[in-house]
Chains A and B, each alone.
Chain A
């Protein structure tokens, strides 16, 4: 499809490790092909100059300060389309662990006697503050999914989050089930779409993509218990990446 003018894309980051932007930069030839369709105006991982004018904001990281709230609102205001890139932005990600304790305790732990000077709030995914048009899940973002989401975006098509568990893809990849090897795995309740990336590589699933819409939490807990996990460990497994979605899942977890 020939386009008159390419949409301008800018990258922003909040509380994160910038690993997802790095994934983007590591896309290889697909990145070159993508630049036929979009113009990247602000991406500090691969360019030094930053443009101020953009149509599409690709945002990494979670919201953790009052300043973040103001900043993401300003970005949203300017962008026609806002894409949450990676677990921190899309679901709160691992930063959400902070929400397990009170803010004061968290500050104390990290900053000791300087805790009083620190402004910090509960960790939130972007959509707790602004409307998000597209989600790219995973920690770090999974390159084929980045491409799939961008293609959908450029076609003007929604990209509904996959609503099947990681197991569905894992079995198609004919992996030996982690439970078969007596390891616990979050695959059965975690949103698929990553092509069981971790398990393919011999790891287990940590649930970085968040839970499926309707997770069978009780059945999953039974399974984890059967494999010898204590309630607290189970809770930790479930919430490692999902604590900032507490409101959504609290009832089922706790």
Chain B
């Protein structure tokens, strides 16, 4: 059976049963975030779409939804970058290379990479938003000729929170990708831009009809970024966002992640701004 078929069969017959997976690499990357490279039993490929998430299990500590930050083109393993914010993630941070976890998934709808073929791509990442977007960036890198111009705008609170620093440098060096990074507050170690990520958008040179803007960041960021993107005349259905919600079962049943009639774990977490407009009120990220 193909890896994909194995995973689909598992989803069909035992959707609540996590697969055994081994941490093959683990390291703190900032004071709050830890990076994990994980291998599923029998080295099955996760075969996710960038933007999808997995449910990570630690027995006795339940489960949490975590975005995948590696590209499906990275074979034999997948990667997560996790901030410690609660009981589960605190425990996950204690795990090291060689430890086992349970994995269910991948879940949800990822970035619409097929629709994005041939388009220019502008990636806007605020803080931890770079985690799922790294998956997309790595995917684009390994399928570079499927896409038009690519530019990456990154924003962090401070230079201490910068994620994937080595890769950032690599992205910066690649001539066919425009790269820009800013931090909210200046500090002595930082040589680059200072200011909110929204300040980077007015200056970018894009052909709006041919551009997909992919935005991921904290809930508060969306409305400000989207406002700038709309000023640039990017069509609603080419503005792509990813919503953070309390995914619990991953199967569109348990109700925790629901936004109005939509189960984010199944229909999302990736949505177009056009989708968000259809929400009548509840969606924090919608307000413009």
Interface string of A135-169 (1 = CB under 8 A from B): 00000000000000000000101101000000000
- Shortest CB-to-CB span from A21 to chain B, Å, is 27
Q: How far is the CA of A160 from the CA of B61 in the complex (A)?
A: 12
Q: How far is the CA of A80 from the CA of B174 in the complex (A)?
A: 53
Q: Indicate which residue in A157, A158, A160 contacts B60 across the interface (CB closer than 8 Å).
A: A157
Does chain A have a CB within 8 A of B4?
A: no
- Shortest CB-to-CB span from B98 to chain A, Å, is 17
- Interface residues of A, CB < 8 Å — how many? 4
Q: How far is the CA of A160 from the CA of B88 in the complex (A)?
A: 12
Q: How far is the CA of A158 from the CA of B91 in the complex (A)?
A: 10
Chain B residues with Cβ below 8 Å from A160 are: 87
- Shortest CB-to-CB span from A162 to chain B, Å, is 14
- By beta carbon, the residue of chain B nearest A160 is B87
Interface of A is mostly: loop
Chain B residues with Cβ below 8 Å from A157 are: 60-61, 87, 91
- Shortest CB-to-CB span from B95 to chain A, Å, is 13
Q: How far is the CA of A155 from the CA of B90 in the complex (A)?
A: 13
* Residues of A156-184 whose CB lies within 8 A of B: 157-158, 160
Q: How far is the CA of A93 from the CA of B165 in the complex (A)?
A: 53
Interface string of A81-112 (1 = CB under 8 A from B): 00000000000000000000000000000000
Chain A residues with Cβ below 8 Å from B87 are: 157-158, 160
Chain A residues with Cβ below 8 Å from B60 are: 155, 157
- By beta carbon, the residue of chain B nearest A159 is B87
- Shortest CB-to-CB span from A73 to chain B, Å, is 28
Interface centre among A155, A157, A158, A160 (most CB of B within 10 A): A157
Interface string of B53-66 (1 = CB under 8 A from A): 00000001100000
Chain A residues with Cβ below 8 Å from B91 are: 157
Chain B residues with Cβ below 8 Å from A158 are: 87
- Shortest CB-to-CB span from B198 to chain A, Å, is 34
- Shortest CB-to-CB span from B248 to chain A, Å, is 15
Q: How far is the CA of A155 from the CA of B61 in the complex (A)?
A: 10
- Shortest CB-to-CB span from B160 to chain A, Å, is 26
- Shortest CB-to-CB span from A39 to chain B, Å, is 22
Q: How far is the CA of A158 from the CA of B84 in the complex (A)?
A: 14
Interface string of A213-252 (1 = CB under 8 A from B): 0000000000000000000000000000000000000000
- By beta carbon, the residue of chain B nearest A158 is B87
Q: How far is the CA of A158 from the CA of B86 in the complex (A)?
A: 10
Chain B residues with Cβ below 8 Å from A155 are: 60
- By beta carbon, the residue of chain A nearest B88 is A157
Interface string of A108-143 (1 = CB under 8 A from B): 000000000000000000000000000000000000
Chain A residues with Cβ below 8 Å from B61 are: 157
Q: How far is the CA of A46 from the CA of B277 in the complex (A)?
A: 65
Contacts A/B (CB < 8 Å), 7 sampled:
A155-B60, A157-B60, A157-B61, A157-B87, A157-B91, A158-B87, A160-B87
Q: B residues touching A (Cβ–Cβ < 8 Å)?
A: 60-61, 87, 91
Top 3 A-B pairs ranked by shortest CB distance?
A158-B87, A155-B60, A157-B87
